Structure 1
Amino acid sequence: MASENESPYNPNGIGSWLVCKTCGTQFPTDDKHQVTTCFICDDPRQYVPPSGQSFVSLDVLRSSGHRNIFTPIAADPERLIAINTQPKVAIGQRAILVRTPQGNVLWDCITLLDDETIVKIKELGGLKAIVISHPHYYSTHLEWARAFDCPVYLSKEDRVWLAQQDASRQKLITENETQLLGTTILKLGGHFPGSLVMLFEGRLLIADTFFATPSGLGNYDADAVGAPRKKPPGISSFAFMWSYPNMIPLAPHALMHMWDILKKYEFSSTHGAFPGMDIVDTPTGMKQRVLESMQIQIRYSGYEAHAMLEEVIT
Structure 2
Amino acid sequence: MNNYNPEDSENLLICNACGTQFDTAGRNSLKTCFICDDPRQYVPPSGQSFTTLADLRAKHKNEFHPHHSDPRLISIVTTPKFAIGQRAILIQTPSGQNVMWDCLTLLDEGTVAEINKLGGLHAIVISHPHYYSTHAEWASAFNCPVYLSSEDMKWTARETERRLPIAETRTDIILGSSDTGLVETGVVAIKLGGHFPGSLVLLFDKHLLIADTLLTVPAGVANWKVNALGELRERPKGANTFSFMWSIPNFIPLSANEIVRMWGILKEYDFTSTHGAFVGTDIEDDDIKTRVLQSMQIQTKYMGFGEHPFLHALW
Q: Which of 238, 241, 264 is residue 242 of structure 2 equivalent to?
A: 238
Structure 2 partner of 1:107 = 101
Q: Deviations over 1:264-294 (max 9, x none)?
A: 1111110000110111101xx1011000000
Structure 1 partner of 2:169 = 176
One-letter amino acid of the structure 2 residue matched with residue 179 of structure 1: D
Is the CA contact 1:26–1:163 (under 8 Å) kept in the aligned structure 2? yes
One-letter amino acid of the structure 2 residue matched with residue 243 of structure 1: S
Q: SS at the partner of 1:82?
A: strand
Structure 1 partner of 2:34 = 39
Runs of at least 5 residues in structure 1 that lack an aligned partner in the other structure: 1-8
Q: Which of 103, 128, 133 is residue 134 of structure 1 equivalent to?
A: 128
Question: How many angstroms does 1:11 deviate by?
Answer: 5.5
- 1:191 correspondence with 2:195: yes
- Distance (Å, rounded) in 2 between the aligned partners of 1:101 and 1:87: 32
Q: Would you identify which runs of 4 or more consecutive aligned residues in structure 1 move more than 6 Å? A: none
Q: SS at the partner of 2:221?
A: coil
Q: TM-score, normalization: structure 1?
A: 0.94
RMSD of equivalent CA atoms: 1.1
- Distance (Å, rounded) in 1 between the aligned partners of 2:16 and 2:211: 20
- Distance (Å, rounded) in 1 between the aligned partners of 2:308 and 2:98: 41
Question: How many angstroms does 1:182 deviate by?
Answer: 1.1
Is the CA contact 1:75–1:280 (under 8 Å) kept in the aligned structure 2? no
Q: Deviations over 1:246-280 (max 9, x none)?
A: 00000011111110110011111100001101111
- Distance (Å, rounded) in 2 between the aligned partners of 1:235 and 1:75: 25
One-letter amino acid of the structure 2 residue matched with residue 221 of structure 1: K
One-letter amino acid of the structure 2 residue matched with residue 94 of structure 1: R
Alpha-carbon spacing, 1:296–1:92, altered in 2? closer, same or farther (3 Å)? same
Structure 2 partner of 1:71 = 65
One-letter amino acid of the structure 1 residue matched with residue 16 of structure 2: K
One-letter amino acid of the structure 1 residue matched with residue 268 of structure 2: K
Query: What does residue range 258-273 of structure 1 map to in structure 2 within 5 Å?
Result: 258-273=262-277
Question: How many angstroms does 1:56 deviate by?
Answer: 0.3
Percent identity of the aligned residues? 57
Query: What does residue range 87-236 of structure 1 map to in structure 2 within 5 Å?
Result: 87-102=80-95, 103-166=97-160, 168-180=161-173, 181-236=185-240
Question: How many angstroms does 1:13 deviate by?
Answer: 2.2
Corresponding pairs, count: 300
Q: SS at the partner of 2:220?
A: coil
Q: SS at the partner of 2:218?
A: coil
Q: TM-score, normalization: structure 2?
A: 0.93
Runs of at least 5 residues in structure 2 that lack an aligned partner in the other structure: 174-184
